[in-house]
Structure 1
Amino acid sequence: MKKKYLLLFIAITTIFSVFGQQEKNIEDEYSAYFTLPRESLYLHLNKTSYFTGEEIWFKGYTYDKKNQLTSKATTNINVGIYDETGKQLKKALFKAENGVAQGNFSVDSTFVAGTYYIKAETNWMKNFKENDAYIQKIEVFTEQETIKNNVYTDEQFDFQFLPEGGHIVANTLSNVGFKVINDQGKGVSVSGIVYDEDQKQVASFEGNPLGMGKFLFQPKANHQYTAEIKLENGTILTETLPKAKETGISMILNNPFPDKIIINFSTNEKTLAYNPSKQYKVLIHQNGNLKTLLLTFDDATEKIISVPKKDVFKGVNTITVFDNNENPILERLFFNDYFVKKANLNISKLNTVNDSILLSINELALQENANISISVLPETTKSYNPKHNILSNFYLKPHIKGFVENPQYYFYNMNRKKKYELDILLLTQGWSRYDWNDIFGSKPNGLNRFENGITIRGRVNKPTSGIDRLFLHATKNHSARFITLEEDQKFTLENFFLEEGEEIRFSYATKKGIFRKPSMYLRFNITNKEDQISEVILNDTKTTNTASASFSLPKDFIYKNTEVLDEVVVKTDKRTKYRDPILQNGVVTDITLEEYNRFYNITDFIGFNGFYQVSEQLGRVSIVTRRRPQASPVIYFDDVRLLNFNILSNFSTANVERIIMDRNGIGEGMNAGFGGVIKIYTRKTPLFKRGEGEEMYLGSKAPFAFATTKKYYAPKYASFQSDVFQEYGAISWIPELKLEKAQASNFKIYDTKTDNITLYIEGISENGDLISEKKTIQIR
């Protein structure tokens, strides 16, 4: 009996084990595939056509696709310039703060006239098969060579029938999408008639100017249908429709309603007879978010499901239908505009001041503050032709795998007509970019980490022992501090932000606390591998709305930004005492051997001043004024403000070159408060010279550091009135402007005497609402 129970227990355990394996369902697989967060990038360029002598200015926006908010996980943005074959020409590292970055590339003499690409990506993006790098085509014009209009002959056309959901089922009402493009990838207007085998008309259709449309018809089993298609140039094409499947289900989605979508599922009698109780699973999903519905026909050939838009997700959603064997059999994309809030920007001219025009901008619809960038160009510009705006880049691009002509068209001034055309586009796109074979297969592993700054690893080789810490001198982005060494005199610095050309400097302290140069090795870990844009991606990122130039660029159209001046030798009186350029009443003390012998530590010097009370306890330093109420000073260490004063504990005066003290801090503004300002500068050469060439620190530059953010400057055009400037010149670029919900923001642009200007505005609000506006205003 015990043996029977044992066998029964084993059998039941085996059944539950198999059942448990089968219970690893679609939802689990889908969620696992999207467990890791996914970043997306958008670059707002000041324009897309450039002359040599100009700068490519850009603002980068990062996006968390699942939560639809600004992504702040990564600070390192790699941006590169590539030639028309995809070969890398330039690459630089840019720092993102609060999800945005800005920068520029010089269009220097190394550029020849032609086509280039700008690409932006993060290291984290490399974890995923789906490429989310931002790539935009740009054009460069030179005085030596001018691009002429391309002439196309022998135009060819590609016509496709694309049934909604992926296939047509016999004896069911089917919705068939279609699109026709020429050999440049542009849509072409068409009309047509569908005939059955007896040449009887069963349907007719007409496409929109983008070459897309749809029509309804009910095919019979084992019948072949043919369409006669007429192009706008009179060309007649004949195409065969896909043959209807004998069994299966079809779907027709209706999305004109403000609060819901209606999905009409149909099947035929043959399918019901084969399995009348068959149950289907319908997943509505987006970037790891999902909603599951169950579908059964209950002996009927039609089932209608209404889905509230508030129950699904903002932007493009994917509907996938699975059979009872969990095989995907239908898929359809649709756009949910329920949560999409349209910005309403108001821009006006305030006045003209000298050579500048003051403009005002405010947002009238959104309820949150926003961060935007603005490109200001002449109204007649031909130089601004990005493939995507920020809406199409974040809402549409992540979900589609085919080429889309002018995707931003659907999101500028979005109205009922454009929503209808967007729905046809999504119908004709077929299946989503995310392949279910990948989703059911291996999952992304996250081996490529989020990069935040540079990781620096080092080891002190000399002195070979007795060193337990190093002094890290202040850099532009980091305060000075002491670094504790491991037992083998190694150390690691993470999240370090060094700019191009900037040194990182280290010293060690002797027993007397005097800095000396260590002998050590340093290794900088940062992703900067040279890469290439593949031909497949270049084909997918081509633009058809970029007009090639057909003008002759005047010589010296852009004046050179620099000129050679005669050498000027400035002689100074070495006895003249240094004066701080900001502090009006700053008392400057150069630390000499005499001062060091009086005050061994810098805190002794500050305390002896009489105005400040200094106390040290267990490495913590407090400095306050002696007057009432007591207040702490603002202290700068090598021009970097200290958040606390602990670094000054036992800090030898021999390591200080100069100290400036101002009790009132006049010139520092509100930063000084009531405690005044103290500025401390470390020595560049030792106070004690034991021998020639003795140094106080070791300095090193990173081989690949962060690009320095530059302030926008307008090119020096020879003429603002020429047709070339009006079509390809730039007026201004405002990369960083904050819109506050309760008030207007003002900004200035250079007055080029242009009558009308167009502002191209992109941005994102604090709660993830996207802003993309094109505004033309009259200046004079």
Structure 2
Amino acid sequence: MIRYKITKKWAYLVPALLLAFVSLAFVSPQTDLLQQLEKHLTSWRTQYAPEKVYLHLDKPRYTPGQQIWLKGYVVDAASLQPTSKSNVLYVDLLNANNEAVQRLKLKAENGKANGDIVLPANLPVGQYTLTAYTQWMRNFGEESFFRKEISIIGEKATTEKQDKTAQQIDLQFFPEGGDLVQGLQSRVAFKATKPDGTGIAMTGAVYDAQNQKLFDIKDTHMGMGAFTLQPQQGQRYQARVTFEDGSKAEYTLPEAKPTGYVLSVNETANPEQVQVSIAGNASGRQSLVLTGISRDAVQYAEQFNLQPGQTFSKQVAKADFPTGIARFNLATANGEPLAERLVFIDNQDNLDISLSTDKKTYAGRERVTMQVLARDKQGKPVSTDFSLAITDDELVTPDLQGLNINAYLLLTSDLRGHVQNPGYYFEENNAARKEALSYLLMTQGWRRFGWQQLAKGEFPELKHSPETDLAVRGTVLTDRGKPVKGGEALLYLKGQHLAFITTETDKDGRFAFEGFDFTGAVDMVVQGTDNRGRRKHLQVKIDEQDYQPKLPAIPAPRSEELVASASPDLLTAGKVEMAAADEVNADLTLKGILLKDVEIQGEADMVQPFKLHRKADAVIDVKDLPIAPSGNVIESLQGRVAGVQVYRAGPNDYRARIRGSRTAPLYLIDGMPVEEGITSQLNQFDISRIEILKDPASASLYGGRASGGVIALYTRQGGEAMQEVEPGKYIIIHRAQGYSKVREFYSPAYDGKTPASREPDLRTTLYWNPSVQTDAAGKATVTFYAADRNTTYRATAEGISDAGKPGRGITTFGVSLGKANP
């Protein structure tokens, strides 16, 4: 007896379906192909476990000198739950030439990371790309990276070369499922785009080879639409169209195959079902497999036999799929792909975030109280944290249909190419929006793995490891470039005592020191030896983190348009102070920058003070120096060494310059590099000797930081004996970059207790909070103060629950100077 694998809910369909398709023979879906699919998808979800990253920004456009406030969400691509693989998030701001303007390395905890980017005051006006990724995501290609275009608006435009080449409108046709087949009726989607990548409206008609008009066509949304065609043998079809700019063109439709299959899907007619129909004209009975895959798992599968001229139809429950893109694939029983169709399943189960204020209108600098409420589909409270941005709706024109957390995680992150106005597809739940979304999925294409890769289990080679913490990696080589197997790498930095950690090199000479957790830059010494403890003729090379994405350009508005859109009030409000440059952390200990579970092998005076140079240009015993009134040993060098000038930079702060160089010399204490100001903290009587390198050749042993010469101080603690280290590359000083410093958003308190500025408060971002935490009741309260503009403010909250449900909420309120409404 032939049976469908169905639930009781649809049991009443069985008699009707059997009558309609009595000649169809159904077999168990647990075929070898389906078993292979399940096996490969399980491997993909567990061993590969791709990630997605989304950035919530405080606003879509900025002026030079402003700060970009951002919150990063790093999630598992299948479940959308916080990732368990990566704890380090990279954010790059790229210009039109793919050059990094600013770069961040952020610490992600439970899949969330906060950060900010200070835009240079001289940043040229134009379109920039913000991209975010983890090292693990590099295994799956740069197309998997998050990217968002932001506009920098200003008073002056950069000079742009005029492109004098003719640019034509692009019109493409996409038969549903993949191919037109002679004698079988198919829907054909189309998409018309301008040279800048945006859609353009069009009208036209389709003609056959005899120049007979068959029917009219017209786009329904941003240059996209569809029509139905039943191609005949020996015919070719042509579309003659007129675009909204008045231009006309003719396009030939794809040629129909003599035999094949047509996959038709209707996901918009029934709110609870997806209607799937398959027709074919191949000779003989064919065994076919239909699958529905979503979130990297087979959600629906069925194998059936189809005779020529017959149609297979199936109602598939949407509730069996998670919200997001589903791929319906038709294949032969041995895995040969025949057709594919993407659909969007919307179960209306995203996180519901509502925002409300205690008033609708506030006076200038009045206190605002905002309530945040988070609930799930059933109305139950959700405890999680959100990012909240409140911006001036007049100065910062909102991008109402732009990219948001729902549109990215559920839609565009799984599609190829640029999607115009992605937020539109998550607006009102009406037929026009659903139809436009269907056309988008018929014309855009799947971004991730293809059917052939899935059926064969051919996934990308994993070249990049997930980062759970900061690490220093490198290679120990001979001076001829051969790897040193079984050697040892040793790392230490200057603390109260010399503490160190060691690790063995592998067969390729590779080593890794993991478990670091610090902010800013730290100078580390890394030394390599072979398996017999020898250092001569060895070199240590550190892996430099110089990777930068090379993303394809997305057409952007001309800079003249960005200048024209900049109001005087916006430019005035955008003038902010630049943040101070990052400094090197010179007072940290090794124990202080390692995670608690990392063991330090030694914490004592590991070696005697060392030096890389054989001979110094000047060697001074401190017994021969006068006592400095300030106690600063650098002051005592005044007039004692030819070519060394000493000047006073502040109380007890003396600096030196060698041979008139504008660059500060490299200061070493017992062989360890320190910052210039550290010398003011040293007691002159703790120093036993000073060696000075004035010659660039001898100073070059210490790298580029020694371009201003070297002043090496040796403490009495190290003893009078000096261990002379043979010059070489087996011991190097590496400046390790930690996490980027995260600034706190400043929100003034006009409460009468704190002195308030008399300057007008014209901030475009009134409030930014990257972590608004709702309690067990799903509620949170935030307070801030209005500014000094008659305007409307827009509040946008975005976040994702621990269950992997994204959501966003929006509200507005007004400010009227001098008056407030209840």
Q: TM-score, normalised by structure 2?
A: 0.64
How far residue 25 of structure 1 moved from its aligned partner, in angstroms, is 4.6
Q: Does the CA-based 8 Å contact 1:219-1:244 persist in structure 2?
A: yes
Cα deviation, 1:305-324, whole Å, max 9, x if unaligned, reads 12122323431011121124
Residue matched to 1:289: 297
Match among 323, 342, 357 for residue 333 of structure 1: 342
Q: Which 10-residue stretch deviates more, 410-419 or 99-108?
A: 410-419
Matched, 1:348 2:348: no
1:756 maps onto 2:792 in alignment = yes
Between 1:429-438 and 1:705-714, the stretch displaced more is 429-438
User: How far apart in 1 are the matches of 2:108 and 2:740?
Assistant: 11
Q: Quick check: 1:332–1:430 contact (8 Å CA) kept in 2?
A: no
Counterpart position of 1:361: 372
State the partner residue of 2:546: 529
Q: Aligned partners of 2:178 and 2:511: how far apart in 1?
A: 58
CA distance in 2: counterparts of 1:752 and 1:314, whole angstroms: 40
| 1:57-68 mapped onto 2 (5 Å cutoff) | 57-68=69-80
Deviations 1:613-663 (A, max 9, x none): xxxxxxxxxxxxxxxxxxxxxxxx9999x999x99xx99xxxxxxxxxxxx
Residue-by-residue CA offset, 1:171-194 (whole Å, 9 max, x unaligned): 222111111112222212223333
Asked whether the 8 Å contact 1:524–1:702 carries over to 2, the reply is: no
Q: Deviations over 1:436-476 (max 9, x none)?
A: 455447433333111122225899xxxxxxxxx9999999x
Aligned to 1:305: 314
Counterpart in the other structure of 2:426:
411
Q: How far is 1:197 from its partner?
A: 3.9
Q: Gaps (5+ residues) in structure 2?
A: 1-30, 476-489, 527-537, 581-589, 605-680, 690-713, 719-731, 749-756, 817-822
SS at match of 1:186: coil
Q: Tell me what 1:598 maps to.
A: none
Deviation string 1:555-614 (CA, Å, 9 cap, x unpaired) is 8655553899xxxxxxxxxxxxxxxxxxxxxxxxxxxxxxxxxxxxxxxxxxxxxxxxxx
**Match status 1:392 vs 2:410:** no
> Is it true that 1:766 corresponds to 2:797 in the alignment?
no
Asked if 2 retains the 8 angstrom alpha-carbon contact of 1:169 and 1:248, the reply is yes
Kindly report which structure 2 residues correspond to 1:242-281, keeping only aligned pairs within 5 A, or say none: 242-256=254-268, 257-268=270-281, 271=282, 274-275=283-284, 277-281=285-289
- Classify 1:389/1:544 alpha carbon distance in 2 versus 1 (closer, same or farther; 3 Å): farther
Which residues in structure 2 correspond to 1:46-57 (within 5 Å)? 46-57=58-69
The structure-2 alpha-carbon separation of the partners of 1:50 and 1:215, relative to structure 1 and needing over 3 Å to count, comes to same
- The one of 192, 196, 208 equivalent to 1:196 is 208
| Paired residues of 1:321 and 1:328 also in contact (CA < 8 A) | yes
Q: Secondary structure at the match of 1:69?
A: coil
Partner of 2:111: 99
Deviation at 1:407, TM superposition (A): 1.8
Alpha-carbon distance between aligned partners in 2 of 1:186 and 1:22, rounded to the nearest angstrom: 40
Secondary structure of the residue aligned to 1:538 is: coil
Matches within 5 A, 1:522-671: 528-534=545-551, 537-539=552-554, 548-550=562-564, 558-559=574-575, 561=577
Distance 1:430 1:99, change over 3 A: closer
Q: Distance in 2 between matches of 1:543 and 1:71?
A: 35
Q: CA deviation at 1:259?
A: 2.3
Give the count of matched residue pairs: 616
CA contact 1:178–1:214 (8 Å) conserved in 2: yes
Which residue number corresponds to residue 665 of structure 1? none
Indicate the SS of the match to 1:712: coil
Answer yes or no: is 1:448 the counterpart of 2:473: no
Which residue pairs with 1:677 in the alignment? none
Match of 1:380 among 389, 394, 416: 394
- Aligned-partner Cα distance in 2 for 1:186–1:563: 37
- 8 Å Cα contact 2:75/2:111 also seen in 1: yes
Cα offset for 1:74? 0.8
The alpha-carbon distance between structure 1 residues 557 and 146, as it changes in their structure 2 partners (threshold 3 A), is farther
1:737 to 751, 772, 776: 772
Once residues 283 and 63 of structure 1 are traced to their aligned partners in structure 2, the CA distance between those partners, rounded to angstroms, is 26
Q: Deviations over 1:13-41 (max 9, x none)?
A: xxxxxxx9999955555555554100111
- Counterpart-to-counterpart distance in 2, 1:89 and 1:413: 38
SS in 1 for 2:288: strand
Aligned residue type for 2:462: G
Distance 1:248 1:481 in 2: 74
Mapped contact 1:558–1:717 kept (Cα < 8 A): no
Change (3 A) 1:264 1:755: same
Structure 2 CA distance for aligned equivalents of residues 409 and 96 of structure 1: 30
Distance 2:148 2:773 in 1: 26
Secondary structure of the residue aligned to 1:70 is: coil
Counterpart CA distance in 2 for 1:717 and 1:431 is: 55
Please give the secondary structure, in 1, of the residue aligned with 2:174: strand
Decide whether the 8 Å contact of 2:365 with 2:785 is kept in 1: no
Question: Does the Cα contact within 8 Å between 2:472 and 2:736 map onto a contact in 1?
Answer: no
* Per-residue deviation, residues 737-764 of structure 1 (Å, max 9, x unmatched): 1233625322233412443111232211
Post-superposition Cα deviations, 1:200-247, rounded to whole Å, max 9, x if no partner, equal: 554433322311111223222222233333434554443332222221
Residues in 2 aligned to 1:563 and 1:321: alpha-carbon distance in whole angstroms: 56
Alpha-carbon deviation of 1:408? 2.3
Counterpart position of 2:217: 205
Contact 2:766/2:787 (8 A) holds in 1: yes
Question: What is the distance in 1 between the residues matched to 2:579 and 2:239?
Answer: 67
CA spacing shift, 1:708–1:296, aligned 2, 3 Å: same
Q: Which residue matches 1:709?
A: 742
Alignment of 1:481-492 (within 5 A): none
Letter in 1 for 2:343: F
Give the counterpart of 1:498 among 518, 533, 547.
518
Contact 1:174 1:217 in 2 (8 A): yes
Equivalent-residue separation in structure 1 for 2:78 and 2:566 (angstroms)? 48
Task: Give the secondary structure class of the aligned counterpart of 2:235.
Answer: coil
1:170 CA drift (Å): 1.7
Amino acid across the alignment from 1:528: Q
1:731 CA drift (Å):
2.3
Q: Specify whether residues 115 and 714 from structure 1 end up closer, same or farther in structure 2 by C-alpha distance, changes over 3 A only.
A: farther
Would the alpha carbon gap of residues 138 and 200 (structure 1) be closer, same or farther in structure 2, given more than 3 Å must change? same
For the structure 1 residues 752 and 421, does the alpha-carbon distance in structure 2 shift closer, same or farther, using more than 3 Å as the test?
same
Check conservation: 1:685, 1:696, Cα contact below 8 A: no
- Runs of 5+ in structure 1 lacking a partner? 1-19, 460-468, 507-520, 565-636, 652-683
Asked if the contact 2:74/2:111 (under 8 Å) is kept, the reply is: yes
Could you tell me how far 1:550 is from its partner in structure 2? 0.2
| Further displaced range: 377-386 or 159-168 | 377-386
The one-letter amino acid of 1:771's match is G
Q: Does 1:401 align with 2:412?
A: no
Displacement of 1:485: 6.7
SS of the counterpart of 2:358? strand
Equivalent in the alignment of 2:52: 40
Judge conservation of contact 1:58–1:104 (CA < 8 Å) in 2. Answer: yes
How far is the alpha carbon of 1:145 from its aligned partner?
A: 4.6
What corresponds to 1:633 in structure 2?
Answer: none
Does the residue aligned with 2:411 lie in a helix, a strand or coil?
helix
Tell me if 1:425 matches 2:440.
Answer: yes
Indicate the larger mover: 284-293 or 327-336.
284-293
